[in-house]
């Protein structure tokens, strides 16, 4: 039996681990075109700030790879012949498969304004991008950041940590408006401004101009010009669907899969950022760009490739991230609408967060320690926890397990109540009576 995995991210690597846990003899081939293979993409932000070195992004030792006994082939897949169960590679060598997993991830949506191809206009998609940014990030020079979501903030903080003067351009009137509420956005913005970031609202790049092929500045829609030495952007990501589409696999925004992560070809699976997975919470198929779901999907796909018949049940999405130095946990459905700074989905994001059913907001704490709850009829639907994280774990459990909160619902919605105390008491009582 030959298992072939396209992609070297966490979904692909988790599939290798799952297959090997059940089948010690089958041949596993992993194909990828990232020169660095498998590493932690969320760690790139900390490489930019200098908190991590490149080498710490690689979580597995040579011995761990050797134990998994798989073949790594550095190549790019140019096509899939489903009839003959074979792949076309850019080096022209043929490769057949019995079971195939597409875990190609997603790539940054490019800037499309005139001048976007000048030297010094950079994205943060992979390790090579991070190295490119560090090469250009010179102390005392000026950088402009364009975009939204977590990655734009990572870029802002990384460039700031490298001693650059940073201007952050936002098309709307606040940061990450479709996930954070106004108070949360303002907390993040205030912290950025305290660190020296200049925020520009209702600002959109119309043109990037250069000198000798290098970035020199931007012209905004309102006619204003700004000089700069570097532009970084994060305007959203797009699942890498090309090979799936040309192979006539069913696609919408991502590759559509059933509960076993199979495509409309039962020998072809998809997992991670490229897969559009059924979400039992909303009853829709959604995209995630989160490390944990990618890992879980990859592992489930691997088990199903060896015939385990294990349905993947999408759990309530959550992300623990850092926004302007403030630890923030986002759980379940918390926002709505679209973010003017992002096309589609951003990295570290989940479409589930914005599929908000009827809910009433309860909130407490208006400095940097803050909790916002989305309160449904008899259970919590979502939560944002900023600063102090002692409520994160209980809230994850309460939301994921759909624990009935009828007994504290009215209390949570009172204006003068300390939400943290109510949740801590409720959770303690639940643990002693469960």
Q: Write the pLDDT tens digit of every residue in 375-398.
A: 988 999 999 999 999 999 999 999
For residues 232-244, average pLDDT: 96
pLDDT at position 98 is 98
The packing angle between helices 149-161 and 182-194, to 10°, is: 10
Interstrand relation of 99-102 and 2-6 (parallel, antiparallel or unpaired): parallel
Judge whether 422 lies within some domain: yes
Whether residue 364 has pLDDT greater than 90: no
Where does residue 89 rank: exposed (0-12), middle (13-18), buried (19+ CB within 10 A)? middle
Whether residue 262 sits in one domain with residue 223: no
Among residues of the chain, what percentage have pLDDT more than 90? 80
Tokens of 359: 């809910």
DSSP-assigned states of every residue in 164-228: -EEEEE-SSSSTTTTTS-HHHHHHHHHHHHHTTPEEETT--EEEEEEETTEEEEEEETTS-EEE-
pLDDT at position 69 is 94
pLDDT at position 365 is 64
Q: At which residue do the structure tokens 């009839």 appear?
A: 83
For residues 93-105, average pLDDT: 96
Judge whether 21 lies within some domain: yes
Confidence grade of residue 350 (pLDDT, cut at 50, 70, 90): confident
Judge whether 349 lies within some domain: yes
Whether residue 349 sits in one domain with residue 205: no
pLDDT at position 243 is 97
Return the ∠ at Cα 426 (arms to 420 and 430), rounded to 5°: 145
Whether residue 346 has pLDDT greater than 60: yes
Confidence grade of residue 409 (pLDDT, cut at 50, 70, 90): very high
Beta strands across the sheet bearing 230-234: 121-122, 230-234, 142-147, 165-169, 198-200
Q: CA-to-CA distance for 174 and 266, rounded, in angstroms?
A: 45
Whether residue 69 sits in one domain with residue 102: yes
Whether residue 127 has pLDDT greater than 60: yes
Is 231 or 343 the better-scoring residue by pLDDT? 231
Whether residue 243 sits in one domain with residue 226: no
For residues 135-156, average pLDDT: 96
Whether residue 253 sits in one domain with residue 209: no
Whether residue 82 has pLDDT greater than 80: yes
CA distances, 65 to each of 14, 25, 69, 208 (Å):
12, 16, 7, 44
Q: CA-to-CA distance for 112 and 101, rounded, in angstroms?
A: 32
Judged by DSSP in three states, 74 sits in: strand
For residues 129-156, average pLDDT: 96
Judge whether 114 lies within some domain: no
CA distances, 104 to each of 25, 149, 294, 349 (Å):
25, 22, 11, 17
Whether residue 355 has pLDDT greater than 70: no
- The per-residue b/e assignment along 142-151, b for 16 or more CB within 10 angstroms, e otherwise, is bbbbbbbbbb
Confidence grade of residue 363 (pLDDT, cut at 50, 70, 90): confident
Judge whether 295 lies within some domain: yes
Confidence grade of residue 132 (pLDDT, cut at 50, 70, 90): very high
Question: Where residue 79 sits, what CATH number does that domain have?
Answer: 3.50.50.60
Judge whether 111 lies within some domain: no
pLDDT, one tens digit per residue, over 19-36 is 999 999 999 999 999 989
Whether residue 366 has pLDDT greater than 60: no
Tokens of 383: 């939560």
Among 215, 52, 222, 223, which Cα is nearest to 145's?
Answer: 215
pLDDT at position 62 is 84
pLDDT at position 93 is 86
φ, ψ at 134 (rounded to 5°): -60, -35
pLDDT, one tens digit per residue, over 249-273 is 999 999 999 999 999 999 999 999 9
Whether residue 68 sits in one domain with residue 126: no
Confidence grade of residue 416 (pLDDT, cut at 50, 70, 90): confident
Whether residue 188 sits in one domain with residue 292: no
Whether residue 301 has pLDDT greater than 80: yes
Whether residue 98 sits in one domain with residue 27: yes
Among 398, 422, 425, 397, which Cα is nearest to 412's?
Answer: 422
Please report, to the nearest 10 degrees, the dihedral formed by the alpha carbons of residues 427, 428, 430, 432 taken in order: 160
Whether residue 107 has pLDDT greater than 90: yes
Judge whether 395 lies within some domain: yes
Residue where a domain terminates, one of 234, 266, 282 = 234
Whether residue 147 sits in one domain with residue 218: yes
Tokens of 304: 């199903």
pLDDT at position 367 is 66
Q: CA-to-CA distance for 302 and 332, rounded, in angstroms?
A: 26
pLDDT, one tens digit per residue, over 303-338 is 999 999 989 999 888 899 999 999 999 998 888 777
Judge whether 116 lies within some domain: no
What is the DSSP-derived secondary structure letter of residue 351? Answer: G
Whether residue 210 has pLDDT greater than 90: yes
Whether residue 241 sits in one domain with residue 102: yes
Is 90 or 364 the better-scoring residue by pLDDT? 90
Whether residue 282 has pLDDT greater than 90: no
Q: What is the pTM of this model?
A: 0.93
* Enclosing H/E stretch for 429: helix 419-433
Structural domain range at position 358: 321-433
Whether residue 287 sits in one domain with residue 391: no
For residues 123-130, average pLDDT: 96
Give the chain's domain count: 3
pLDDT, one tens digit per residue, over 146-190 is 999 999 999 999 999 999 999 999 999 999 998 999 999 999 999
Whether residue 359 has pLDDT greater than 80: no
pLDDT, one tens digit per residue, over 39-56 is 999 999 999 999 999 899
Residue where a domain terminates, one of 234, 264, 294 = 234
Residue where a domain terminates, one of 281, 305, 329 = 305
Whether residue 260 sits in one domain with residue 191: no
Is 344 or 21 the better-scoring residue by pLDDT? 21
Question: Where residue 389 sits, what CATH number does that domain have?
Answer: 3.30.390.30
Among 120, 151, 148, 117, which Cα is nearest to 134's?
Answer: 120
Confidence grade of residue 356 (pLDDT, cut at 50, 70, 90): low
Whether residue 61 has pLDDT greater than 90: no
């Amino acid at each position: 039996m030959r298992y072939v995995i396209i992609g070297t991210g966490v979904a692909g690597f988790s599939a290798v681990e799952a297959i090997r846990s059940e089948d010690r003899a089958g041949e596993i081939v992993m194909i990828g075109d990232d020169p660095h293979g498998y590493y932690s993409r969320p760690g790139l932000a900390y490489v930019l700030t200098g908190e991590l070195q490149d080498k710490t992004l690689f979580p597995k030792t040579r011995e761990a790879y050797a134990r998994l006994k798989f073949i790594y082939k550095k190549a790019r897949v140019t096509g899939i012949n489903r009839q003959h169960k074979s792949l076309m590679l850019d080096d022209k060598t043929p490769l057949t498969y019995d079971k195939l997993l597409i875990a190609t991830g997603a790539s940054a949506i490019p800037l499309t304004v005139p001048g976007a191809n000048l030297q010094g206009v950079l994205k943060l998609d992979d390790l090579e991008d991070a190295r490119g940014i560090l090469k250009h990030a010179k102390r005392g020079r000026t950088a402009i950041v364009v975009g939204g979501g977590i990655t734009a903030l990572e870029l802002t903080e990384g460039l700031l940590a490298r001693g650059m003067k940073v201007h952050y351009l936002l098309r709307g009137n606040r940061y990450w408006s479709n996930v954070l509420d106004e108070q949360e956005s303002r907390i993040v913005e205030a912290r950025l401004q305290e660190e020296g970031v200049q925020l520009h609202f209702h600002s959109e790049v119309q043109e990037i101009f250069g000198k000798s092929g290098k970035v020199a500045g931007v012209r905004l829609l309102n006619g204003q010009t700004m000089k700069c030495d570097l532009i970084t952007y994060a305007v959203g990501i797009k699942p890498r669907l090309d090979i799936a589409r040309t192979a006539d696999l069913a696609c919408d925004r991502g590759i559509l899969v059933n509960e076993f992560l199979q495509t409309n070809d039962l020998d072809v699976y998809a997992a991670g950022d490229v897969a559009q997975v059924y979400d039992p919470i909303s009853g829709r198929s959604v995209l995630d760009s989160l490390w944990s779901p990618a890992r879980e999907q990859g592992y489930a796909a691997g088990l199903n490739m060896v015939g385990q018949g294990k349905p993947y049940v999408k759990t309530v999405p959550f992300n623990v991230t850092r926004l302007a130095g403030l630890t923030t946990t986002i759980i379940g459905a918390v926002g709505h609408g679209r973010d003017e700074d992002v096309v589609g989905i951003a990295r570290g994001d989940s479409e589930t967060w914005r599929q908000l059913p009827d809910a009433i907001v309860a909130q407490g704490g208006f400095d940097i320690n803050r909790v916002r709850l989305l309160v449904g009829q008899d259970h919590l639907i979502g939560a944002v926890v900023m600063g102090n994280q002692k409520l994160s774990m209980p809230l994850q459990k309460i939301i994921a397990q759909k624990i009935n909160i009828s007994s504290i619902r009215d209390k949570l919605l009172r204006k003068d109540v300390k939400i943290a105390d109510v949740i801590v008491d409720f959770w303690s009582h639940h643990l002693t009576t469960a």
